[in-house]
Amino acid sequence: MTAFVTDLSGDFRHACAARIEGFLRTATFDRPTLVIDTDVVLQNFRALSQGLGDAHIHYAVKANPEPQVIEALVNAGSHFDAASRGEIELCLSQGARPEDISFGNTVKKPGDIAFAYNVGVTLFAADAEEELDKIAEHAPGAEVYIRLIVEASGADWPLTRKFGCAPDHAVALMDYALSLGLRPVGVSFHVGSQTRKAEMWAPVLDRIADVWRAARAEGHALDLLNIGGGFPAFYGEDIAAPAIYAAQVREMVAERFGDLARLMAEPGRGLVAEAGMIAAEVVLVSRKSPDDLHRWVYLDIGMFSGLAETMDEAIRYQFVTARDGERTGPCILAGPSCDSADVLYEKRMIDLPLGLKSGDRVFIRSCGAYTSSYSSVGFNGFPPLDVVVM
């Protein structure tokens, strides 16, 4: 199957980065700015669509809720996964059809369920009795899929036990949904954000397939499998091209589930991360004393103004400076706020040019996901990350 898929990695990735970097080099910004290239979003959308074949792609809006990104994806035929009423409103405002929006948060306020139902959203996630009660009351007769908890798969941003029911409780929840007049149509799961290797999906899919078979054996006419997100972005470590990765996942799904009436996937990072680059600036380079082995580099963007995914140093961004090619050395990288937790990388330091100094511009690659919306409203008086869409 994978033989027919074009490898869009290598050259394409370089071309994308070059285009955004070219724009950044000629532009000036008076504060940290995320530049998004919607062409890259669409290219990734097409690559994942190609690899996933008949699956519906529901873009995980939370990854980047920039209206122009949503609009571009609406025009390309994408569906959407919304985490809140706010995201549903956003999708509708950009032209998405309500029947193409799933309300995938398993923790929903009654009023938000009612809102979604009234505008025409028909598909809801749940992982608990009380959530089904709310959906039955405020979205009577709706389709629901049961989210399952799965063991961590080795993803770079692994999931906690926050979402999902125990696999052996799924059938009971489907029974309960039916008793409330809801339509339990399938199951969902999440392998973990930034799951770098497709083979990490195999044991998770095995477990989900067990539940799927058990539910069908109990008489539930499931026809929807939601494989969630987890599609990786390039942060410097080698990953497969999106189309090839997706095709591998699709093949593993086919092996375990055969023909599926409805397959859906919820990529977020995999669509938008590489489409964005942040223009930032060095504010200070220092050592604690002349004989200190550790160099500190402070940027004008930090953990509270866009780079929240550096928490626990989970996501490791790549940095581009005008001094690249000069001699480099390790540094501790920190943000501009007075908060001592606002340190980006310290345990594993970042290699940057030794000549770097205050005022130097720094570009940060693959910043299209989980940056602008993670920004604080104005912590320490710094404005939130600005966004420009190319």
Least distance CB 56 / a second copy (angstroms): 18
Q: What are phi and psi of 29, to 5 degrees?
A: -135, 140
Cα 28 from Cα 383, distance rounded (Å) = 17
| Residue listed under structure tokens 């690249």 | 324
| Binder of a second copy out of 68, 318, 328, 376 (CB under 8 A) | 376
Least distance CB 162 / a second copy (angstroms): 5
Residue 284 within binding range of a second copy, rule CB under 8 A: yes
- Report residue 258 as tokens: 């055969």
- Closest C-alpha among 177, 265, 173, 267 to residue 224: 265
Residue 341 within binding range of a second copy, rule CB under 8 A: yes
Residue 164 within binding range of a second copy, rule CB under 8 A: yes
The alpha carbon of 12 is separated from its chain's Cα centroid by a whole number of angstroms, namely 21
Q: Rank residues 162 and 327 by Cβ distance to a second copy and give the closer one.
A: 162
Q: Rank residues 209 and 356 by Cβ distance to a second copy and give the closer one.
A: 356
- Stretch of 129-137, 200-208, 252-260, 315-323 contacting a second copy, by CB under 8 A: 129-137
Residue 88's CB is within 10 A of a number of other CB atoms, namely 24
Contacting a second copy within 84-113 (CB under 8 A): 84-90, 104-110
- Stretch of 44-52, 59-67, 214-222, 320-328 contacting a second copy, by CB under 8 A: 59-67
Least distance CB 99 / a second copy (angstroms): 19
Contacting a second copy within 38-57 (CB under 8 A): none
Whether 165 is a known active-site residue: answer no
Residues in Cβ contact with 258 at an 8 Å cutoff, skipping those fewer than 6 apart: none
3-state secondary structure of 6: coil
- Over its C-alpha atoms, the chain yields an Rg (Å, rounded) of 22
Cα 241 from Cα 229, distance rounded (Å) = 16
Q: Rank residues 157 and 257 by Cβ distance to a second copy and give the closer one.
A: 157
Catalytic residue among 91, 331, 338, 367: 338
Active site positions, annotated = 338
